[in-house]
């Protein structure tokens, strides 16, 4: 009986951790409650409290879960690979872009905790540990690859390792904004193309990116700040965004809300336009304040890209505009709550 109860408790904890991952992806950390987590898991808030002493302990357990899952994925990939440094470096990249590890919900979890880690030692301990250990692995392998060809005086291992780590981090952000439609095989090709450019004696240049994807990447995207003239186009996108979260279509409601935000200057909205002048994506940022830092911040609640425009850099262009706004307004950071 005791074994059965332990198994039930173990399964309940797994269920709650998975529900927390979903809840963070949907609501962000600031709007997260035990009631919302319990609702997703099909359990009461009281049951959540039975298995975890507090919301904070559940959050830490969730962060530990995704961190350990990532570490185990890297370790397993290296176990299956021989001792050749170039093969091991390729295995790390493949594992870092594994669909199970980089599921868009988990990318949202990493981003949420990373955003908070600068003011939370417990979050920083876990997030920082992952970053340091992964970088050290990549750095050591780069050193070995360079040393084998006696290229130490021509190639800086730390610089290459930083570039690889930064590239993977950027691809993680793209996965976060693209969601389930993201093409990880193309992401791996991008990484391997970079390695082939730096270490041509170890890696072959992958085949070119598919023609239609390559063409979509070079289509110009124009970002504009939304005013009343762009309200109708933005409302159509905002309505699609609300439908994504299982809300009934209601364009007049979407327009009324956005108009109120603009009139009261409660938010800043940017619209992505294609070369033909069609609205293909938007983001909405809300100025706020962090009392702990005593500094202004921006909260990004809404970001949406039309299905047919995804994987073409629209989300990235909107995020770049958001970061530019933060720089211009003196905001210390952007909290992602979408």
Q: What residues make up the domain containing 22?
A: 2-52
Residues 67 and 205 in one domain: yes
Closest CA to 67 of 93, 106, 26, 94: 106
- Residue 5: predicted pLDDT: 65
Residues 176 and 72 in one domain: yes
Residues 66 and 196 in one domain: yes
Reported as a single tens digit per residue, the pLDDT across 54-91 is 888 888 899 889 989 999 999 999 999 989 999 999 99
List, in sequence order, every residue forming a beta bridge with 297; answer none if it has no partner.
Answer: 288
Q: For tokens 């009261």, what's the residue?
A: 264
CA 288 – CA 305 distance, rounded (Å): 24
- Residue 167: both structure tokens together: 């590239």
CA 235 – CA 282 distance, rounded (Å): 10
Read off the CATH number of the domain in which 298 is found: 3.40.630.30
CA angle 130, 112, 158 (to 5 degrees): 35
Identify whether the C-beta of residue 9 lies closer than 8 Å to the C-beta of residue 51: yes
CA distances from 140 to 76, 144, 202 (A): 18, 6, 16
Helix (H) or strand (E) segment spanning residue 105:
helix 104-117
Residues 321 and 190 in one domain: no
Residues 27 and 69 in one domain: no
* The dihedral formed by the CA atoms of 98, 99, 104 and 107, expressed in degrees to the nearest 10: -20
CA 207 – CA 123 distance, rounded (Å): 40
Read off the CATH number of the domain in which 173 is found: 1.10.357.10
Identify whether the C-beta of residue 221 lies closer than 8 Å to the C-beta of residue 313: yes
Residues of the chain with pLDDT under 50: 1-2, 4, 211-218
Reported as a single tens digit per residue, the pLDDT across 230-280 is 999 999 999 998 888 778 999 999 999 999 999 999 999 999 998 888 999
List, in sequence order, every residue forming a beta bridge with 272; answer none if it has no partner.
Answer: 223, 281
- Residue 147: predicted pLDDT: 94
Residues 200 and 284 in one domain: no
Closest CA to 283 of 171, 170, 180, 177: 177
Residues 223 and 316 in one domain: yes
CA 180 – CA 271 distance, rounded (Å): 22
Residues 69 and 205 in one domain: yes
Residues 119 and 239 in one domain: no
- Residue 315: predicted pLDDT: 84
Identify whether the C-beta of residue 296 lies closer than 8 Å to the C-beta of residue 288: yes
What is the separation, in whole angstroms, between the first and last Cα of the chain? 43
Residues 145 and 70 in one domain: yes
List, in sequence order, every residue forming a beta bridge with 209; answer none if it has no partner.
Answer: none
Identify whether the C-beta of residue 321 lies closer than 8 Å to the C-beta of residue 313: no
Sequence-separated (6 or more) residues with CB below 8 Å from residue 36:
23, 27
In a 10 Å sphere around its CB, with 0-12 CB exposed, 13-18 middle and 19+ buried, how is residue 145 labelled? buried
Residues 298 and 229 in one domain: yes
Read off the CATH number of the domain in which 46 is found: 1.10.10.60
Identify whether the C-beta of residue 37 lies closer than 8 Å to the C-beta of residue 23: yes
Sequence-separated (6 or more) residues with CB below 8 Å from residue 244:
304
CA distances from 27 to 23, 244, 300, 337 (A): 6, 14, 12, 6
| pTM (two decimals) | 0.63
- Residue 219: predicted pLDDT: 59
Residues 270 and 331 in one domain: yes
Q: From edge to edge, which strands make up the β-sheet containing 279-290?
A: 222-225, 268-273, 279-290, 295-305, 334-336
Domain count, the chain: 3
Which of 209, 241, 256 is a domain's end point? 209
Which of 163, 179, 209 is a domain's end point? 209
Which of 164, 181, 209 is a domain's end point? 209
């Amino acid at each position: 009986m005791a074994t059965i109860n332990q198994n039930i408790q173990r399964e309940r904890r797994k269920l709650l951790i998975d529900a927390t991952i979903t809840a963070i992806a949907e609501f962000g950390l600031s709007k997260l409650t035990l009631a919302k987590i319990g609702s997703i898991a099909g359990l009461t808030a009281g049951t959540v409290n039975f298995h975890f002493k507090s919301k904070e302990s559940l959050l830490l357990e969730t962060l530990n879960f995704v961190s350990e899952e990532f570490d185990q994925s890297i370790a397993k990939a290296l176990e299956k690979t021989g001792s050749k440094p170039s093969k091991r470096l390729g295995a790390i990249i493949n594992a870092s872009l594994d669909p199970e590890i980089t599921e868009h919900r988990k990318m949202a979890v990493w981003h949420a905790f990373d955003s908070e880690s600068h003011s939370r030692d417990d979050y920083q301990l876990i997030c920082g540990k992952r970053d340091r250990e992964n970088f050290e692995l990549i750095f050591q392998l780069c050193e070995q690859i360079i040393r084998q060809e006696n290229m130490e005086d021509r190639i800086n291992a730390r610089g290459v390792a930083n570039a690889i780590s930064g590239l993977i981090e950027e691809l993680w952000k793209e996965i976060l904004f693209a969601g389930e439609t993201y093409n990880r095989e193309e992401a791996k090709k991008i990484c391997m193309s970079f390695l082939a450019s730096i270490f041509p004696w170890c890696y072959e240049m992958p085949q070119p990116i598919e023609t239609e994807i390559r063409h979509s990447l070079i289509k110009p995207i124009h970002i504009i700040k939304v005013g009343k003239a762009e309200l109708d186009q933005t409302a159509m996108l905002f309505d699609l965004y609300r439908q994504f979260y299982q809300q009934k279509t209601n364009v007049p409601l979407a327009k009324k809300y956005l108009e109120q935000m603009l009139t009261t200057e409660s938010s800043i909205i940017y619209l992505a336009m294609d070369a033909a002048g069609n609205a293909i994506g938007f983001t909405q940022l809300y100025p706020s304040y962090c009392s702990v830092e005593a500094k202004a911040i921006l909260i990004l609640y809404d970001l949406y890209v039309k299905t047919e425009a995804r994987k073409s850099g629209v989300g990235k262009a909107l995020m770049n505009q958001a970061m530019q706004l933060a720089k211009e307004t003196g905001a210390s950071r952007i909290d992602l709550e979408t």
